[in-house]
Structure 1
Amino acid sequence: MAQEDKLSFREDQIYFSVAYPYFSDAPGELIQNKLSYSFSLGFVRDMPVNKKRTLALGLGLGWDVATVFNNMRLVVEDSSISASIIQDAYQKNTLTMQTLAVPFELRWRNANETKHAFWRIHTGLSLHMPIRFSANYTSNDGMQRDINLPYEKTLLRWNVHF
């Protein structure tokens, strides 16, 4: 009987998202071309903090990748990055970022183990730490250049979500 009284309701979450990344406040000559894309995949563990289990913290781990097709060529010289707008014709030019995401959420809900019609509010922030940052350029004559860009000691971004 004691086991039946024990609440074990959790709202763990597997998430997947698709997005369109873009450069905001970019100079006029910087052009995004083709269809840029971004994918996210991860898991958030629900950790209730009250007896009714209506208030919880969520902590997770995820992976993001974003590829932006554009006309900005990046070059690395002596650990510094320089950028220039590509004037000649080219086949492909991309900027790719992969990050490890650590979401942290405050979760408020009126759900329980048996009630399926409920409301919930999940709000929090995600920290995104770079694991790979690269540029790929392919000229019209087929010459290809892949560059791993330096990202040490940087926190690429953080998001607040509601």
Structure 2
Amino acid sequence: MKQLFISIFFLMNFVCCFAQEINDKEIDSLYKEDQFYAGVTYNLLGKMPKDVSQSGFSLGFHLGFIKDMPINKNRNIAIGLGLGYSANSFNQNLLINKDNTGSTIYSVLKDSNTFTKNKFSSHLIELPIEFRWRTSTATDYNFWRIYMGFKLGYVFAHTTKYRGDLGKLRFSNIEDFNNFQYGITLSAGYNTWNIFLYYALNPIFSGDASLDGNKIDMNAVKIGLMFYIL
């Protein structure tokens, strides 16, 4: 929880520094909104197999640029198309290990006293697409917004880390991770504070990943705050 508050503090300072520049700009009848974003999320796992559970605090950090393209005369309805970066971690009790042949094996750590760390992390390049509605004008920078969209992500790096009775285990770029992640998004709020939701439509792992003979269908769910900058 302390990490979350620290992250929000730095994001707020980042937003405020850019917001100060807005007041010095001339009025633009062809204005555009919210072309930079930065956010922090609490990451959840959906569709978890039996006995798999999350532990600790799983964080996500997101930032990027979205090209704002108004589609009506009042410029309060727009399409957004962007490019961003996302870093995510998931703390849980699903152990990812290798056997003697180098194959990936999955098991559940049922006793939390046997390990101090068990997580997997991913880094993504993302392409967000949004349908945007807001109450902004050329001179009003404090407004309500609802942005609904779709986000496609390419996982260019991921790692798994374990520390416990088995020693220290670390693996990178395991083939069972899906290289592409995609899901639906929603941002809604007023002025600086906006609630952000992401629900993945495909699983984190590919069809080759299985636990006790059953496919691992876990998907990512992210809930947090998103900050927009002109």
TM-score (norm 2): 0.57
What is the CA distance between 1:103 and its match in structure 2? Answer: 1.0
Higher helix share: 2
The residue aligned with 2:163 is 138
Q: Which runs of 5+ in 1 are unaligned?
A: none
Compared with structure 1, are the counterparts of its residues 98 and 52 closer, same or farther at alpha carbon in structure 2 (3 Å cutoff)? same
Q: Which moved more, 1:39-48 or 1:81-90?
A: 81-90
* Pair 1:129-2:154 in alignment: yes
Greater relative CO (CA pairs within 8 A, separation 6+): 2
Give distance in 2, aligned partners of 1:110 and 1:36: 34
Compared with structure 1, are the counterparts of its residues 53 and 16 closer, same or farther at alpha carbon in structure 2 (3 Å cutoff)? same
- RMSD of the alignment, in Å? 3.1
Give distance in 2, aligned partners of 1:97 and 1:11: 30
Give, as a single letter, the amino acid of the residue that structure 2 aligns with 1:85: V
Q: Is the 8 A contact 1:55 1:109 kept in 2?
A: yes
The residue aligned with 1:57 is 79
What is the CA distance between 1:76 and its match in structure 2? Answer: 5.2
Compared with structure 1, are the counterparts of its residues 11 and 138 closer, same or farther at alpha carbon in structure 2 (3 Å cutoff)? same
Match of 1:102 among 127, 137, 141: 127
Match of 1:33 among 52, 55, 62: 55
The residue aligned with 2:69 is 47
What is the CA distance between 1:116 and its match in structure 2? Answer: 4.5
Q: Is the 8 A contact 1:60 1:104 kept in 2?
A: yes
Give, as a single letter, the amino acid of the residue that structure 2 aligns with 1:84: S
Compared with structure 1, are the counterparts of its residues 73 and 53 closer, same or farther at alpha carbon in structure 2 (3 Å cutoff)? same
What is the CA distance between 1:158 and its match in structure 2? Answer: 1.6
Match of 1:16 among 38, 47, 57: 38
The residue aligned with 1:92 is 117
Give distance in 1, aligned partners of 2:161 and 2:142: 48
Equivalent runs, 1:150-161 vs 2, <5 Å:
150=175, 154-161=179-186
Give distance in 1, aligned partners of 2:95 and 2:115: 11
Give, as a single letter, the amino acid of the residue that structure 2 aligns with 1:45: K
Give distance in 1, aligned partners of 2:150 and 2:86: 15
Q: Which runs of 5+ in 2 are unaligned?
A: 1-25, 188-230
Compared with structure 1, are the counterparts of its residues 44 and 80 closer, same or farther at alpha carbon in structure 2 (3 Å cutoff)? farther
Q: Which moved more, 1:44-53 or 1:143-152?
A: 143-152
| Superposed CA offset, 1:2-44 (max 9, x none) | xx9x733110332222222222232342132222222212222
Aligned residue pairs: how many? Answer: 159
What is the CA distance between 1:66 and its match in structure 2? Answer: 1.4
What is the CA distance between 1:153 and its match in structure 2? Answer: 7.0
| Superposed CA offset, 1:103-160 (max 9, x none) | 1112234433224465443222211221122211223475343332126874222223
Compared with structure 1, are the counterparts of its residues 50 and 138 closer, same or farther at alpha carbon in structure 2 (3 Å cutoff)? same
The percentage of aligned residue pairs carrying the same residue is 30
The residue aligned with 1:67 is 89
